[in-house]
Amino acid sequence: MGRFEIPEGWVAQAYRFALDPTPAQQRALASHAGGARFAHNHMLALVTAVLDQRAAERSYGLTDADLTPSLGWSLPALRKTWNQRKSVYAPWWGANSKEAYNTGLDSLARGLDAWTTSRNGERVGKAVGFPRFKTARSRRSVRFTTGTLRVEPDRHHVSLPRVGRIKTHESTRKLARRIESESARILSATVSQDSSGRWHCSFQTLVAAKTRPAHASRSQCPVVGVDVGVKADSLLVVATPDGTEVQRIRAPKSLSAAQARLRVLQRKAARQHGPYDPAIRSRRRHSKRWAKTQARIGRSHARAAAIRRDVLHKATTTLAQQHRVVVVETLNATGMRAAGGAYKKGLNRALADAALAEVRRMLTYKAAWYGSAVVAADRFFPSSKTCSGCGGRKPNLTLAERTYVCAQCGVSIDRDRNAAINLARLGQTHMVGEQSSAGSGSVAGRGAIRETGPARAGQAGGREASTRHNPTRVDQTGTAVSQEATA
Ligand SMILES: [Zn+2]
- Which among 112-126, 165-179, 350-364, 365-379 has the top mean pLDDT? 165-179
Is pLDDT larger for residue 390 or for residue 167?
167
Question: Out of 106, 194, 310, 329, which one is annotated catalytic?
Answer: 329
Predicted confidence (pLDDT) at residue 76 exceeds the cutoff of 50: yes
| Residue 447 backbone zone (phi > 0: left; psi -120 to 50: alpha; other: beta) | left
Tell me the CA–centroid distance for residue 486 and ligand 1, in Å: 35
Question: Out of 106, 194, 310, 416, which one is annotated catalytic?
Answer: 416
Work out the percent of the chain whose per-residue pLDDT is above 70: 82
Residue 167 CA from chain centroid, whole number: 25
197 confidence band (pLDDT: 50, 70, 90):
confident
Question: β-strand 199-208 against 10-18: which pairing, if any?
Answer: antiparallel
Tell me the CA–centroid distance for residue 1 and ligand 1, in Å: 53
Q: Which of 222, 173, 230, 179 is nearest to 350 (CA)?
A: 230
pTM: 0.71
- pLDDT score, position 448: 56
Question: β-strand 403-405 against 373-377: which pairing, if any?
Answer: unpaired
In the annotation, is 154 catalytic? no
Question: Out of 106, 227, 353, 451, which one is annotated catalytic?
Answer: 227
Tell me the CA–centroid distance for residue 308 and ligand 1, in Å: 34
- pLDDT score, position 160: 94
How far is the CA of 470 from the CAs of 177, 309, 474, in angstroms?
22, 14, 10
pLDDT single digits (tens) 274-332: 888 888 889 899 999 999 999 999 889 888 888 888 899 999 999 998 898 999 987 65
Cβ atoms < 10 Å from Cβ of 216: 13
pLDDT single digits (tens) 444-463: 444 555 555 444 333 444 44
Mean pLDDT value of segment 342-369: 76
Tell me the CA–centroid distance for residue 241 and ligand 1, in Å: 15
In the annotation, is 233 catalytic? no
pLDDT single digits (tens) 365-423: 888 888 889 998 887 888 888 999 888 888 877 777 888 998 888 889 998 899 999 99
Mean pLDDT value of segment 32-38: 96
Mean pLDDT value of segment 56-82: 90
Tell me the CA–centroid distance for residue 413 and ligand 1, in Å: 10
Tell me the CA–centroid distance for residue 419 and ligand 1, in Å: 13
Is pLDDT larger for residue 122 or for residue 477?
122
In the annotation, is 227 catalytic? yes
